[in-house]
Structure 1
Amino acid sequence: MEIYVNSTIITAVLFIGFLFTLIMVGSYGFTHKRDSTLNRFFLAKCLQIMAVSLMVFRGDIPDVLSIWLANIALYAGTSLEVAALVNLQGFLRPKMRLIYIYVTIIGIMGFSILFIFDSTEPVRIAYYSFLTAILLSPVCLVGFRSSSLLMKVVSLLYGVGVIFSIVRGFSSFFIPIQSFTLYNPGVLQLVVLLSFYVLSNLMNLAFLLLMKENVDRELVVLANHDDLTGALNRRSFTQQAELILRQSAKKPAVVSYLLLDVDHFKTINDTYGHVAGDQVLRDLSQTIRGLLDEGDLYGRYGGDEFGILLTGKNEDESDRFASTLCSLLNHGLPGSVPFHISMGILTVTPTSTMKVEALYAACDPALYEAKTNGRNGFHRAEGSI
């Protein structure tokens, strides 16, 4: 039994999926106009819709539109779609972006040359299929490196696309073109078109879910970190530090807690302005980050006051940490006004009920003792908690 799929059905199958995604992405884009990733994906869907629309009328319009322009638009749309996905995961570096632009331009030029010199359809199919496989490959690599389960699933979907493109490319030389082309009505056409429809919609849905996942991740960062310095905020620092205290109590293992602030910070603001004061806090935060080991924490309590929790570091090790930090600041930081800090330090073996606020309360007098002793240094808390 021969199954015939006319142009109306082809349009409905391929066009609706792209159009639905275009509407969803466009609606979202009204409130995210500066999102380059979203803009790339939106443009990709526009090009794919245009390509499908031109392909439907093959035979009724000039080949330069239904073959050349349609395939160029579909190829460019695929390139933009992949670039959007790679950028969404933070892997679209400037060098990679440049390489991708070159691959896209060279691919378009190559297909144009084939079309101009009136190459056979199997050659064009093979060329286009192999280029598409190359374009889709980065998504598979990014998905493999990503920590997101959703992105790994997306990479599998694109992996299916890579395999299909390679198989289609080789098959074009061995399977009669009348059976292989999607313009020949029949069972093969129906199966491929429906598969392409399902796969395309899954990819479109996956992109939207990845966008949501990315936004959720950013919201978590914003909820847990200080906007100015990137340090953990007080709530998040306290929660994570108390988890470390409980884990250290089970081992048992020592921890060292440092409470610090910037000496004469109000004077810095009054003398140099609040912009300079903000830069001091950012530079201090960056310097602290560079000294922390895996498992250490630091957070901003507010103003110029910070807390640091050094996991597994005893008195000597925490003293060396404090001395190194003071030394780096005393040598001056590029782009920042001169400043130094005072610190209170406490080293303890935590109990299962120990709270960070108890460490703070014990270190606060030590911090002020350091200021009394001339600032630009640290003092150890006395007694136990």
Structure 2
Amino acid sequence: MTLQVCLLAGNLVTVVLVLAYRSRYAKESTSSLFIAAKCLQISVLIVLLLTDFIDSRITATLSGLLGLAGGTTEALAILMLLGVYTTKVKRYYYLLAGFSAAVILLLIITASDEVQLRIAIASLLGSLFIIYPVYCLLMKGKNSPLQKVMGLLYCIVMMILIIGAVVGLISVPLNTHLSQLLQWSFYIGIYLLMFLGTAGFTLLSREQSYVELERVATYDELTGILNRRAFVLRARPLIAAAAKEGTAFSFLLLDVDHFKNVNDTYGHDIGDRVLKDFASKIEQQLANGDLFGRFGGEEFAVILHRADEQACDEMAERLRTAILGAVINGVPLHYTVSIGVITVMSTERITLNNLYKLSDTALYQAKQKGRNCVVRSYG
């Protein structure tokens, strides 16, 4: 009884806090699903607290079905938050929920007095709902430390439920220490599951929000490469390290030729596609240690790590030719690029602003020479 009251109070507080948060910020489907799950779990606990006042068959049926709906909804909310909520996953959980509901109803009808058997089957069914979230948290993609720890904890809960189910299915006599251990393991597993669902969803939501904010602050929305601010922040330590070690590096300023004409002739949508095509082709030519960012409009910048003049000239020419013969939406749309470059080969530190000015002068000269070419600045 005490455990049920604690769970009820914890879930009520969670729902109130989430609703208070949603009252200020935009509502979205993931948190709505999570609130629905918590409300279903609260209804289960209320039904269990009324066991002494309602027929046991009714409370068993209601608590089983409501708990099943709550568990399914919460699992789907977490999977949606992880970005793995697909039609196939949704179909799997609906089928699993339908099967589990049928099993629970069958048990209530045919074995109404077998409390131990019901607990064992409920534990086994509960573990089935956790398997896929555990797999996603531990094994799928580049998961964060938070997701891995959550996956490990969910795995422990799953093992507790499975062990409890096995103990219950071997027909341990009631009122024995093993039977009591079964019931306690079941309630502890359910408690941990509810706690993990609440804490995990909250922490994952915060982590996802932070990741999204970092992405917006770091990457250009259209092309997906570094924006100017992020490029500058990452370029400064590279320049400082190169000066300290006395290693060469090169700075390239690229500008799409006649881009205004592209927008005026084909429209801004095609212009955006040209920029995305350009960024994609350039990025494919660069090495992992190089920096590539959009400085604004049709202007882009590249820092080639450890590239002397010869390596820089070869790369600049490769970049110039990489975009030739572009096809946008299945239609050939030829565009070119002018490039201004400068290579630094001394231990004297030069600011990024000076690099930009020198390469911009070289870029202007490339435009004057007829565009679609590379011009070097010697400082």
- TM bucket (normalised to shorter chain) is 0.7 to 0.9
Structure number with greater CO (CA < 8 Å, separation at least 6) is 1
User: Residue 46 of structure 2 aligns with which residue?
Assistant: 53
The range that moved more, 33-42 or 259-268, is 33-42
What TM-score, normalized by structure 1, do the two folds share? Answer: 0.82
The range that moved more, 259-268 or 66-75, is 66-75
User: Residue 103 of structure 1 aligns with which residue?
Assistant: 96
Deviation string for 1:303-331 (max 9, x for gaps)? 21111123234445544544444444322
Aligned residues: 373
Deviation string for 1:136-174 (max 9, x for gaps)? 233333333554333233223323311221121112135
Which residue of 365, 371, 376 maps to 1:369? 365
- Does 2:160 align with 1:176? no
What TM-score, normalized by structure 2, do the two folds share? Answer: 0.83
Task: Check conservation: 2:342, 2:378, Cα contact below 8 A.
Answer: no
Q: What are the within-5 Å matches in structure 2 for residues 325-344 of structure 1?
A: 325-335=319-329, 338-344=334-340
Q: What are the within-5 Å matches in structure 2 for residues 1-385 of structure 1?
A: 5=1, 9=2, 11-33=4-26, 35-58=28-51, 60-62=53-55, 65-118=58-111, 120-145=114-139, 147-174=143-170, 175-178=172-175, 197=191, 200-201=194-195, 203-335=197-329, 338-349=334-345, 351=347, 353-379=349-375, 381-384=376-379
Q: Kindly provide the amino acid, as one letter, of the partner of residue 23 in structure 1.
A: V
Counterpart CA distance in 2 for 1:231 and 1:222 is: 11
Instruction: For residue 229 of structure 1, give the secondary structure of its aligned residue in structure 2.
Output: coil
Q: Kindly provide the amino acid, as one letter, of the partner of residue 269 in structure 2.
A: V
Counterpart CA distance in 2 for 1:34 and 1:320 is: 52
Task: Check conservation: 1:255, 1:350, Cα contact below 8 A.
Answer: no
Counterpart CA distance in 2 for 1:318 and 1:99 is: 54
CA drift of 1:301 comes to: 1.4
Task: Check conservation: 2:243, 2:347, Cα contact below 8 A.
Answer: yes
CA drift of 1:111 comes to: 3.4
Instruction: For residue 172 of structure 1, give the secondary structure of its aligned residue in structure 2.
Output: helix
Gaps of 5+ in 2: none
Gaps of 5+ in 1: none
% identity of equivalent residues: 32
> Residue 383 and residue 62 in structure 1: after superposition, are their counterparts in 2 closer, same or farther (change >3 A)?
same
Task: Check conservation: 2:157, 2:189, Cα contact below 8 A.
Answer: no
Task: Check conservation: 2:290, 2:302, Cα contact below 8 A.
Answer: yes
Task: Check conservation: 2:289, 2:305, Cα contact below 8 A.
Answer: yes
